[in-house]
């Protein structure tokens, strides 16, 4: 079973269907890898007994000729998705011990298709963070190490989801992306991360952060696997009123169609002063690759880009302050007893929410409060429309947009960020897609001088994930990126 962890999902499916391997063998290899990489702190709950049972069931279904599209593939789930009878905490102490009695739509679809659940993955508390350091369980660690050996952040908020796939502790995983929480950790860990169009994947059963921005998406080893699992996750769900009632196309053609004749935009505003040189170099390289593959590169302008972060840091906290009002110590989670109902609420929430979550709830409450609503919340919503209009204009001329995913490679853990705004700047290239509801993908494209993965981001018009896959696959073929982090499970090193 030496090569089990090296297989992509597509390769594993092919071996499973030829009876060369069984899901029980594959799943066992992943369970061993989870144990071997335990110190990376990727999983906050492992469900190994459940995984073994699901693997047996998948093997049986395959033998009976009833194999689903993901039958037998081991998958990790961000601890933000409610999983029936499996503790779900959003990595917050306020949800300590919460065991959902229902399953999120997205994860239901995975299991109905034969996917095997390995466990719940670490993330920033309520998905609020860009380094996984706000998790009550401590940060997920990047399996890649800097030359000096310092432990690096896996990124966030879906740090555990990215790190597990890079470390060989999950074949694929799911996360969520509100401002870059899939694409940034994917770039930091050297894996493919997809944020689908807003409305593609149901938000039902996903712990809500900012409902107009949240979107579920997958982490995979390559672009083909991304399309595979995405096509299972996506689709209309009557239980989410913002779910798009559009059919999900077959992406197998898009993956191999290349970029010949495509027009791909390079937004001048994404060339930022504070960006590392190696990021600019990688971006230039990406442009060349696509040109060589027959695409026409077009300089475009997205004039409101520089306001996206400030706009996001009103809208997301405002929605969060409203969504997180439900954690009141009455219906679920921890309660701190107090004399009166109000004091009980206040004590429970002060003790249950971490610092960054409290900060965002307070900013959001402020922005929505009487006297400030127009100046902050309404203003941010107006700027949001201008940002969306920038993209609408761009996509009337180009088929896709190419940008870096992050302004730098993964940073060290343990250098506490004293200024929250410095942390917010990590999301400068990813936040606009959430504000405009666009699909975006991060694909690993090279290494920094320190030997760390760097990602390129591709954006497309709403519901054109097919174009993301065409462009990202082209970059993947040219980049020939090799996933070989030092701290991965045995054979992936």
Partner 1 sequence: MTVDKNAVKKIARLARIQVSDEKAELLSADLGNILNWIEQLEEVDTTGVEPLASVNEHALPWREDIVTDGSITEQVLKNSPEVAGDFFVVPKVVE
Q: Where on the chain is the footprint of partner 1 (CB under 8 A)?
A: 97-102, 198-199, 212, 238, 241-242, 244-245, 304, 306-307, 310-311, 313-314, 321, 325, 328-335, 337-347, 349-350, 353, 358-359, 361-363, 365-366, 369, 376, 378-386, 388, 419-421, 436-437, 462
**Closest separation in Å from C-beta 379 to partner 1:** 5
Shortest separation between residue 347's beta carbon and partner 1, angstroms? 5
- Measured from the CB atom, the residue of 57 and 328 that comes closer to partner 1 is 328
**Rounded to an integer, what distance in angstroms lies between the CA atom of residue 364 and that of residue 313?**
9
Looking up tokens 């991304």 gives 226
Residue with tokens 């936040």: 431
Q: Which is nearer to partner 1, 24 or 87 (CB)?
A: 87
Give me the least distance between CB of 416 and partner 1, in Å please.
14
Least distance to partner 1, CB of residue 132, Å: 21
Placement of tokens 């990047």 in the chain: 142
**DSSP bridge pairs for 348:** none
State the residue for tokens 């047996």: 56
* CA quadruple 310, 311, 312, 313: dihedral sign: positive
Task: Select which of 15, 23, 46, 78 is catalytic.
Answer: 78
Rounded to whole angstroms, the Cα distance separating 475 from 195 reads 17
The strand pairing partners of 175, in sequence order, are 217
| Token pair listed for 184 | 């940034």
Q: What is the CA radius of gyration of the chain?
A: 21
Least distance to partner 1 from the beta carbon of 183, Å? 18
Helix ranges restricted to H, 353-396: 355-368, 379-395
Give the sheet arrangement for strand 116-121, strand by strand: 43-46, 116-121, 74-78, 172-176, 216-220, 192-195, 440-447, 453-459, 400-404, 263-267, 296-300
Is position 161 annotated as part of the catalytic site? no
Of 23, 153, 157, 202, the active-site residue reads 157
Phi, psi of 455 (to 5 degrees): -120, 150
What is the separation, in whole angstroms, between the first and last Cα of the chain? 16
- The token pair that represents 155 in the structure block: 């990124």
Confirm whether 157 is a catalytic residue. Answer: yes
In the numeric block, which tokens belong to residue 59?
């093997």
447 forms beta bridges with: 453
**Closest separation in Å from C-beta 387 to partner 1:** 9
Residue with Cβ nearer partner 1 (93 or 296)? 93
Contacts of 48 (CB under 8 A, 6+ apart): 31, 34, 118, 119
The SS3 call for residue 450 is: coil
C-beta of 287 vs 335, nearer to partner 1: 335
Give the residue with the Cβ less far from partner 1, 164 or 210: 210
Query: Measured from the CB of residue 439, what is the shortest distance to partner 1 in angstroms?
Result: 12
Minimum CB distance to partner 1 smaller for 299 or for 339: 339
The closest of 172, 165, 178 to 80, measured between CA atoms, is: 178
For the bound state, the minimum distance from the C-beta of residue 330 to partner 1, rounded and expressed in Å, comes to 5
| Residue whose CB is less far from partner 1, 42 or 197 | 197
Residues 456, 403: contact at Cβ < 8 Å?
A: yes
Choice among 15, 153, 161, 181 that is catalytic:
181
Q: Is 192 left (phi over 0), alpha (psi -120 to 50) or beta?
A: beta
Side-chain-side CA neighbours of residue 207 (13 Å) = 30
When the beta carbons of 229 and 423 are compared against partner 1, the nearer one is: 423
Known catalytic residues are: 78, 157, 181
């Amino acid at each position: 079973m030496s090569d089990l962890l090296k297989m992509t999902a597509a390769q594993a499916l092919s071996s499973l269907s030829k009876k060369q391997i069984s899901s029980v063998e594959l799943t066992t290899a992943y369970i061993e890898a989870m144990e071997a990489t335990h110190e990376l702190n990727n999983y906050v709950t492992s469900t190994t007994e459940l995984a073994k049972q699901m693997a047996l069931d998948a093997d049986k279904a395959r033998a009976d000729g009833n194999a689903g599209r993901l039958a037998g593939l081991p998958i990790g789930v961000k601890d933000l998705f409610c999983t029936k009878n499996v503790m779900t905490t959003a990595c917050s102490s306020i949800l300590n011990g919460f065991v959902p009695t229902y399953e999120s739509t997205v994860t239901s679809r995975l299991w109905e298709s034969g996917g095997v659940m390995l466990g719940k993955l670490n993330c920033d508390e309520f998905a609020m963070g860009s380094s996984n350091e706000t998790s009550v369980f401590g940060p997920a660690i990047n399996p890649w190490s800097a030359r000096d050996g310092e432990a690096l952040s896996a990124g966030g908020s879906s740090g555990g989801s990215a790190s597990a796939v890079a470390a060989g502790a999950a074949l694929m995983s799911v996360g969520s992306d509100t401002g870059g929480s899939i694409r940034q950790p994917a770039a930091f860990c050297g894996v493919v991360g997809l944020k689908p169009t807003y409305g593609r994947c149901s938000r039902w059963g996903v712990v809500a952060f900012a409902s107009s921005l949240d979107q579920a998406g997958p982490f995979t080893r390559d672009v083909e696997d991304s399309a595979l699992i995405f096509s299972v996750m996506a689709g209309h769900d009557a239980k989410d009123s913002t779910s798009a009632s559009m059919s999900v196309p077959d992406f197998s053609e898009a993956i191999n169609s290349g970029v010949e004749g495509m027009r791909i935009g390079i937004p001048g505003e994404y060339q930022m002063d504070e960006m590392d040189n190696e990021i600019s170099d990688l971006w230039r390289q990406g442009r060349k690759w696509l040109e060589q593959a027959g695409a026409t590169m077009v300089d475009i302008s997205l004039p409101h880009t520089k306001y996206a972060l400030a706009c996001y840091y009103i809208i997301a906290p405002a929605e969060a302050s409203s969504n997180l009002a439900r954690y009141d110590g009455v219906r679920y989670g921890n309660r701190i007893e107090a004399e009166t109902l109000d004091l009980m609420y206040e004590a429970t929430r002060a003790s249950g929410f971490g610092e960054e979550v409290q900060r965002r709830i307070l900013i959001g409450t402020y922005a929505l409060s009487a006297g400030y609503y127009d100046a902050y919340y309404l203003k941010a919503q107006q700027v949001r429309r201008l940002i969306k209009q920038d993209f609408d204009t761009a996509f009337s001329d180009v088929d896709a947009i190419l940008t870096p995913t992050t302004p730098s490679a993964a940073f060290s853990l343990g250098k506490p960020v004293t200024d929250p705004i410095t942390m917010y700047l990590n999301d400068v290239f990813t936040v606009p897609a959430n504000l405009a509801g666009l699909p975006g993908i991060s694909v690993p494209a090279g290494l920094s001088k320190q030997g760390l993965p760097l990602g390129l981001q591709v954006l497309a018009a709403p519901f054109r994930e097919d174009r993301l896959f065409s462009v990202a696959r082209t970059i993947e073929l040219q980049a020939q990126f090799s996933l070989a982090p030092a701290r991965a499970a045995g054979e992936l090193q």
